[in-house]
Structure 1
């Protein structure tokens, strides 16, 4: 019986050691630190005063008017600059870009040399003075190994400039075997 009483009291004594005394000390310390600590918050700056601007040039010409800018650009180009003839009737080969055209040979008729251009599976005869390509290209010369084309293209500034292109003779697949 004594043994039973000791076994019952032993856990109760162990629980008594886990009392609230340490927690109370921590709470007291936290209250003390909280009362002594003063937070520092920087005050916000006052907003800057906004002064509205009165636009007094309402009766002046608009500096961003597109017509005015175009007129100034036209003045800066002597003679109006290079431009393609957009009123000219387009030729058939102008509907294809130059990168799909291949020079596959030449042909001579009545002492005049013609270039042979292949587009897809069709071959066309061309001579100097004809137009080809989508950039207002004019065929300037035809030789046995190349066709020279003068194109008129726009540069980054929007000005029309001439660009020379060459379609060189392409070796056929049958000759390379």
Structure 2
């Protein structure tokens, strides 16, 4: 009995809420108008093109950031140059590394001589001064500054000639 007293008001409220008393006539007219209007044309999905894998073929060419080699300039340098590395001198430890693998990490002045501190790829730190050698291309240190080293490498031209190539290493600010 108790449930019946509660169920009667709930059911009557539900029935009244569901009645269509005409108060939504404007919404019904709008929906009917939209349904009667012609629908838009949907274009078909374009056909997909088959994927073609890209093959990189320029790996054997000169890098975009290296200077082009001028054959005439090399021939002129070979003809006018008597540059040759001293193959009989004793090689120094830092000549076993590529010059690009070495990093300048600081300087120190001992007995009025400015030494540069070079870090090798294996983590060791070595000191060098002017007239020492480093790098695989017979690189001779010409000047040691507070934040740079000037090096002149002797590089083979591919024939029997040799060319001097100046380089510099700057003080590394990172790791």
Under a length normalisation based on structure 2, what TM-score does the superposition of the two structures give? Answer: 0.52
Q: RCO greater where, 1 or 2, for CA within 8 Å and sep 6 or more?
A: 2
Gaps of 5+ in 2: 1-77
2:117 maps to what in 1? 116
Alignment-derived partner of residue 107 in structure 1: 108
> Counting helix residues as a fraction of each chain, which structure ranks higher?
1
Unaligned runs of 5+ in 1: 1-75
Mapping of 1:142-153 within 5 angstroms? Answer: 142-153=144-155
Give the match for residue 34 of structure 1.
none
Q: Where do residues 15-164 of structure 1 align in structure 2 (5 Å cutoff)?
A: 77=79, 81-120=82-121, 121-164=123-166
Question: 1:155 Cα deviation (Å)?
Answer: 2.0
Query: Separation in 1 of the partners of 2:100 and 2:79?
Result: 32
In structure 2, C-alpha distance between the alignment counterparts of 1:99 and 1:126, rounded to whole Å: 16
Task: Supply the distance in 2 between the matched residues of 1:155 and 1:109 (Cα, whole angstroms).
Answer: 38
Which deviates more from structure 2 when the two are superposed, residues 155-164 or residues 105-114? 155-164
Shift of 1:81: 2.1
Point out the structure with max Rg over C-alpha.
1
Residue by residue, what CA displacement relative to the aligned partner does 1:50-109 show, whole Å, maximum 9, x if unpaired? xxxxxxxxxxxxxxxxxxxxxxxxxx957x821111111111111111010000110011
TM-score w.r.t. length of structure 1: 0.51
Give yes or no for the alignment of 1:166 onto 2:168: yes
In the alignment, which residue of structure 2 is the partner of 1:67? none
4+ residue runs over 6 A deviation: none
